[in-house]
Amino acid sequence: MKAARSFGGTSRISKQGKRYLRRVIWLMTVNVIRHNSIFRNYFLKRKAEDLSPKKAVFAIAHKLIKVIFTLLT
């Protein structure tokens, strides 16, 4: 059995975890930015703060995951 590795986070998405789950999260995030004005405004705000578009999408993904987790608990 493999021992769990700790991940010292960097400013890019890691390739740890399931790639299909990362893909689903990416697709959900892009669509929620496209169709939901609250998330779209947050995305535009993060982009205006000189974040690259990809990092802004990851910020939205993090926010979306927190919202989903809150709804499930």
The pLDDT assigned to 22 comes to 87
Quote the tokens at residue 62.
């993090």
Q: How far is CA 55 from CA 59, 61, 62, in A?
A: 6, 10, 11
Mean pLDDT per 10-residue segment, the chain (73 residues): 56 75 92 95 93 90 94 94
For 22, half-sphere exposure in the C-beta direction (CA atoms, 13 angstrom radius) is 8
Angle value at C-alpha 11, between 8 and 17, nearest 5 degrees? 60
Eight-class DSSP state of 49: T
The pLDDT assigned to 1 comes to 52
The pLDDT assigned to 26 comes to 92
The pLDDT assigned to 17 comes to 80
Between CA 33 and CA 67 the distance in angstroms is 14
The pLDDT assigned to 66 comes to 93
pTM of the model: 0.73
* Domain coordinates in residue numbering, the chain: 35-73
The pLDDT assigned to 18 comes to 87
